[in-house]
Structure 1
Amino acid sequence: MARRMIGRVHRILAGFVVAIAVLSTATACGSDSASDDTIRFALDWTPNTNHTGLFVAQQRGFFAESGLDVEILPYNNTAVDTVVDAGNAQFGISTHNSSTFSRASGAHTISVLAPLQRWATGIGVRAGRDDIASPKDLDGRTYAGFGDPGEEETLKQVIRNDGGTGDFTSVTLGTSAYEAVYSGRADFTVSYLAWEGIEAEHHGTPMKYFHYTDFGFPEAYAIVVDANEDWLAENPERAAKFVRALQRGYQAAADDPDAAARDLIEANPGAFNDEQLVIESQRMLADRYMKDADGKVGTQTLEQWAGNSGFLYRSGLLTGPDGAPLTAEPDWSTYFTNEYLG
């Protein structure tokens, strides 16, 4: 089964359940062994290359050099933004879409760093499907999806931009989506290019991909680091130290991906059956997704937030704290900050 990495566009993975008690236990144990000054970071999935910069910062002592005590919480099935908003973690890995949905609904969360500057996913179909040459050919097909409230609207718009109607059947399969496409039970899915794309090649089950931005869809940050906004206000100096140490870790991962991949593997012994996949994945992220035009990792722009999050608003997908659809477009500059970056 392909390893589904939630630090991509999707936030909900159907059919994969881990008890919420995992996080409660981890937090309680952390409280017993660490001081009140401990900074807790919530993972959105089991360790993978979306997290490399975090583990680089831990392994190389960047947090310790800044005088910070950092605890990495294990993944569980509670949405990271929910964990961060509740104060059970000060920071966590999220996605551009999930971050948008959470803040719109009233969560006290804000994006402070974007480890991946661009979409790192693509619409995937089995290689050799000559009857599907571009997104418009997905009309009338079956999509193996994940239950993210924004995913279907995104796919519909990409298909329409290519001249189709955007009409397709959707089935929520979660981690079984890739296998369903390759076996012919579904026609297309959305794959994480720097993991499942490479994994497919390793397994001899190649896919072909359509990229959102090739069909007029706005760019998005594949993953972001969200923070508890109240904690930031109360701890501005520690917040800046943490974000800069984390940024340093991700920059190192972008500048020397092989060494960073080894740090990730060493920090998580036994977690990876295919260590070469980890190395190739980190190389791909470093080469295509992590750096902005100036070679820097972590920065965010209002233009990109307004493009992707604005699409979610215009599609009527965003709801406020009362659960009703938003009637006025948010000020996207309040959804992120570069204030704590180096």
Structure 2
Amino acid sequence: MKQQTRTLFAIVLSCMLLILASCSGGADGSASNQTTKAEPDKQQSKELKPVKVVLDWSPNTNHTGLYVAKEQGYFAEEGLDVSISLPGSGGSEAMVASGEAPFGVSVQENVTQSRTQGVPLVSIAAIIQHNTSGFAAPKDRNIKSPKDFEGKSYGGWGSPVEQAVMKSIMDLQGADVKKVKFLNIGDADYFTAVKRDIDFAWIFYAWTGIEAELRGEPLDMLYVKDYSDKLDYYTPVIVTNEKTISQDPELVKAFMRATSKGYQYAIEHPEEAANILLKAVPELDKKLVVASQKWLSPKYQDDAGRWGEQKREVWQNYSDWMHERGLLDKPLDTDKAFTNDFLPEK
């Protein structure tokens, strides 16, 4: 607008009245000013590229960085209009692999299994640097080690990986996984299940463990990573597909620049980030979200050089472990399963 005014001033220098009218914000000047400001905003909104990212589960603090990147305008700064969606019946992996969504949230286990079955998923960031999941039991069940699983009832979701992990850590203590009673409880509420049907289950401490603290129902938590380096895998991760990488690498770079900013904000401002998640998903429990975020934020990056960074040995170790236990039909081509190439430099 200032450049337009200077040009107008040069043209009508002989007519002071018109100059004053233009600069004073009169009727004609005001209309011109509004048009000049509105048009770029309108044009900018038209230029934003619609992009879908699909979650692996209902929204929780694993996903906070995505909601921060949207709310704080980091995606818009990259020219992206990002929508965050819940997974369909086939899961986030199927939606990303098919191209229905270019980005999604998954776990290393699912990416590994998908890759060995010819599904072209690629992990482009580790949301959390170390595995925060493990087997949890109410204190009164007296489960202090994997050997204490014997004679107890375990509630799971029916995956072969569950029994393989449990056997792996029980074997270290000479315990027998066949002495564990396995029950498929699906997505039943943990706190209801341990009062009624089971003694322990596999949880993510950042959510269910923190909820137990808030309820005043303390747990014995056995993190699987504490029993084997091979079980310290990435869960969750952000994924895309090979086609998106090959056809639109700039989109992947832009998405990851904004997402990285979102998680960095959550690392540095956990309470504010929690409130952003709550604003987007108001049905979540505020106390749980805030407490969970404070616990999880420092674990996003942890000891990595930057948020999202993935190590080859983590992918190799876990895929070797899965293959050794018959969970994979063939070894993983590790170098095609993940990449750090789209993470912004520090």
SS for the counterpart of 1:154 is helix
Query: Closer, same or farther in 2 for the Cα pair 1:180/1:143, shift >3 Å?
Result: farther
Q: Please, which of 306, 313, 317 is the counterpart of residue 307 of structure 1?
A: 317
Query: Closer, same or farther in 2 for the Cα pair 1:177/1:144, shift >3 Å?
Result: farther
Instruction: Check the 8 A contact 1:41/1:71 in 2, yes or no.
Output: yes
SS for the counterpart of 2:187 is helix
Q: Quote the Cα distance in structure 2 between the aligned partners of 1:170 and 1:209.
A: 18
Q: Please, which of 163, 180, 188 is the counterpart of residue 174 of structure 2?
A: 163
Q: Please, which of 336, 339, 345 is the counterpart of residue 337 of structure 1?
A: 339
Q: Quote the Cα distance in structure 2 between the aligned partners of 1:106 and 1:240.
A: 24
Give the helix-richer structure, 1 or 2.
2
For residues 311-336 of structure 1, the C-alpha deviation after alignment (integer angstroms, 9 at most, x for no partner) is 11111112xxxxxx22xx22212110
Q: Quote the Cα distance in structure 2 between the aligned partners of 1:177 and 1:276.
A: 18
User: 1:55 is matched with which residue?
Assistant: 67
Instruction: Check the 8 A contact 1:84/1:92 in 2, yes or no.
Output: yes
Q: How does 1:86-105 map to 2 (within 5 A)?
A: 86-105=98-117
Structure 1: tracts of 5 or more residues without a match: 1-33, 319-324
The residue type paired with residue 171 of structure 2 is R
Q: How does 1:1-342 map to 2 (within 5 A)?
A: 37-130=49-142, 132-167=143-178, 168-176=180-188, 178-179=190-191, 182-183=194-195, 185-218=197-230, 219-268=232-281, 270-272=282-284, 274-287=285-298, 289-294=299-304, 296-318=306-328, 325-326=329-330, 329-342=331-344
Post-superposition shift, 1:43?
A: 1.3
For residues 214-237 of structure 1, the C-alpha deviation after alignment (integer angstroms, 9 at most, x for no partner) is 222521112000102111110011
Aligned residues: 298
Q: Quote the Cα distance in structure 1 between the aligned partners of 2:106 and 2:222.
A: 23
Q: Quote the Cα distance in structure 2 between the aligned partners of 1:35 and 1:79.
A: 30
The residue type paired with residue 325 of structure 2 is S
CA root-mean-square deviation: 2.0
Q: Quote the Cα distance in structure 2 between the aligned partners of 1:221 and 1:35.
A: 35
Query: Closer, same or farther in 2 for the Cα pair 1:42/1:35, shift >3 Å?
Result: farther
Q: Quote the Cα distance in structure 1 between the aligned partners of 2:270 and 2:106.
A: 22
Post-superposition shift, 1:294?
A: 4.4
Identity %: 35
TM-score, normalised to structure 2, is 0.81
For residues 219-270 of structure 1, the C-alpha deviation after alignment (integer angstroms, 9 at most, x for no partner) is 11120001021111100112111112111111211121111111111122x3
Instruction: Check the 8 A contact 2:112/2:337 in 1, yes or no.
Output: yes
Post-superposition shift, 1:128?
A: 2.4
Q: Quote the Cα distance in structure 1 between the aligned partners of 2:57 and 2:208.
A: 15
SS for the counterpart of 2:272 is helix
Post-superposition shift, 1:171?
A: 1.1
SS for the counterpart of 2:309 is coil
> After TM superposition, what 4+ stretches of structure 1 lie above 3 angstroms from structure 2?
34-37
Structure 2: tracts of 5 or more residues without a match: 1-45
Instruction: Check the 8 A contact 1:239/1:340 in 2, yes or no.
Output: yes
Post-superposition shift, 1:52?
A: 0.2
> Quick check: which has more Rg, 1 or 2?
2
Q: Quote the Cα distance in structure 2 between the aligned partners of 1:295 and 1:282.
A: 21
Query: Closer, same or farther in 2 for the Cα pair 1:290/1:162, shift >3 Å?
Result: farther
